[in-house]
Amino acid sequence: MLDINRIRENPEAVKEALKKKLWDADFTELLAWDKRKKELIQFVEGNKAEMNRLSASVPQAKKNGEDVSKIFAKVKEIAAANAESDKELKELEDKIFNFLAELPNIPDDDLLGGGKENNKPIRSFGKKPEFDFPLKDHVELATSLGLVDYDRGAKIAGRGAWIYTNLGAQLEWALLNYFITTHLKDGYTFILPPHLLNEASGFGAGQFPKFREDVFWLEGLEPQRFLLPTAETALVNLYRDEILKEEDLPKKFFAYTPCYRREAGSYRTEERGMIRGYQFDKVEMVQYTKPEDSDAAFEELVRKAEDLVKGLGLHYQVSKLAAGDISHSMARTYDIEVYLPSMGIYKEVSSASNARDYQARRTMCRYRDNATGKTRYVHTLNASGLATSRIFPAILEQFQQADGSVVIPEVLRPWMGGLEVLKPIKK
């Protein structure tokens, strides 16, 4: 949520910043409501002061033998006026809150405006793999190697589902173990959060109200709950309505969860298989930091996500996203994108993002500044570390051999029983 003071001080600057995110904001009504709110607060507070003065005058009036009924009548009259003002004040506060709740985060100044057409690759690792034999895509490889059963996945769950089988299930679990072991080594705290979250969690993460229909809601539960679309939604709500100690920052977490999303897409030809689905596995990193430390934390998260892909030996690139292509809640995002040879394109496997204080304002997560004794909003950041549903295909495609086998990345072999190569199954 944005700080209304920023809008009060320079509404045109905020409007122009949000245009970079392809968001057209008009603050005319908001500022009018805000002005009226201030007037009402002054009116109510003035009335309260007058009521206190009148009430305090009663003992002396009685002592002087005066009729105090007029004083009580005046107090009652003022109280009635305040009740009406309080009602209007509450309506205005709701309007202001709902208006601010819809606004996206302000993008960082250095980001280009516009959508994905303005995303810029800033670095890459390794070279595009070259092959002197006919390429197979990950669907054909996963099927011939007996790693994934797409047909039975669709049969038992419908489109956008698959089943990891035998060595495929082991490879998926090896990836997750590789990610988890690395994050533990780096001092991050491991979390296994609930998969059913309440509405306040969706609001706190900034996914609601705008993207309320993009999640799977469960009927018949009180309070109503939804399946988490990413562990970030849970992790950034851990300290909702809490005040942290400055010395406890930064807080660094990672979580493993399946992720459930409605926006699985239209399944274009190049997105068949496991490139896009309604459920996928992901390890997610989140940090809570002081504002002055969040830029360094962002670079750390990007580096950690990159190091995981480097460790697998995969060719990838890092792209700095334009303001209009970063998510609603974020101020800046870098995508780590692996190369898929069969498609000839790069696909995102991690988005590292800085929300600044946007999510913290929604969750009311603060820390107490030791120097001033005042509370300040934390900054929250997140990055996938990593999502497997595109890493898995990239491994199959980039490390395929002429005989249809696939070389297993060395870092995964301890969880594959020492197996070095996946070979086609005999029919």
Decide if pLDDT at 273 tops 70: no
Strand order in the sheet with 316-320: 120-125, 316-320, 332-340, 345-354, 379-387, 279-289, 251-260, 189-191
CA distance 347 to 307: 17
Q: What is the pTM of this model?
A: 0.92
What's the confidence (pLDDT) of residue 226?
A: 97
Are residues 77 and 200 located together in one domain of the fold?
no
CA pair distance 17, 25, nearest whole angstrom: 10
Catalytic pick among 348, 368, 376, 405: 348
Rounded average pLDDT over 46-54: 92
**β-pair partners for 316:** 125, 338
What integer is the mean pLDDT of 292-301?
A: 98
Nearest Cα neighbor of 359 from 232, 246, 250 is 232
Whole-number Cα distances in Å, 140 to 136, 143, 265, 301? 6, 5, 21, 34
CATH of the domain at 149: 3.30.930.10
Beta-strand pair 345-354/243-245? unpaired
Q: Mean of the pLDDT values across residues 4-26? A: 97
Residue 72 has pLDDT above 60, yes or no: yes
Same structural domain for residues 392 and 344?
Answer: yes
| Banded model confidence at residue 263, pLDDT cuts 50, 70, 90 | low
Q: Copy the structure tokens of residue 190.
A: 């491991």
Residue 390 is among the residues annotated as catalytic for this protein: yes
- Does the structure show a pLDDT above 90 at 120? yes
Q: Mark whether 312 and 225 lie in a shared domain.
A: yes
Share of the chain above pLDDT 90, in %: 90
Nearest in space to 350 (alpha carbons), one of 316, 393, 396: 316
* 256 and 280 fall within a common domain: yes
Write down the pLDDT at residue 262: 86
Residue 66 lies in a domain: yes
Of these residues, 225, 261, 332, 356, which one is catalytic? Answer: 261
Give the residue among 54, 19, 139, 116 at the shortest CA–CA distance from 321. 116
State the CATH number of the domain containing residue 31. 1.10.287.40
Two tokens at 232? 């970030």
User: Which of 166, 178, 146, 167 lies closest to 410 in space, CA to CA?
Assistant: 178
Tokens of 343: 């498609």
CB-facing half-sphere around the CA of 133: CA atoms within 13 A: 11
CA distance 52 to 189: 53
Task: Out of 225, 276, 332, 366, pick the active-site residue.
Answer: 276
Is 8 one of the catalytic residues?
no
**Of 61 and 182, more confident:** 182
Q: Is residue 271 very low, low, confident or very high in pLDDT (cuts 50, 70, 90)?
A: low
Q: Which residue has the higher pLDDT, 213 or 264?
A: 213
User: Residue 65: its pLDDT value, please?
Assistant: 87
* Confidence (pLDDT) at 67: 87
Residue 86 has pLDDT above 50, yes or no: yes
Mean pLDDT score across all residues of the chain = 95
Q: In terms of domains, do 189 and 58 share one? A: no
Q: Are residues 360 and 244 in the same domain?
A: yes
**Least confident window among 38-47, 60-69, 258-267:** 258-267
> Which residue in 225, 356, 362, 390 is the catalytic one?
390
Is residue 362 part of the annotated active site? The answer reads no
Model confidence at 177: pLDDT above 60: yes
Q: Average pLDDT of 168-178? A: 98
Where does 213-278 show beta strands of DSSP type E? 217-218, 225-227, 243-245, 251-260
Q: By the 8 A CB rule, do 252 and 287 touch?
A: yes
Domain assignment of residue 275, yes or no: yes
Taking the C-alpha atoms of residue 417 and residue 163, their distance in angstroms, rounded to an integer, is 21
Render pLDDT for 132-155 as a digit per residue (tens, 0 to 9): 999 999 999 999 999 999 999 999
Whether 67 and 206 map to the same domain: the answer is no
The pLDDT score that the predictor gives to residue 329 is: 97
Read off the pLDDT of residues 405-415 as tens digits, 9 standing for 90 and up: 999 999 999 99
**How many structural domains comprise the chain?**
2
Annotation marks residue 348 as catalytic: yes
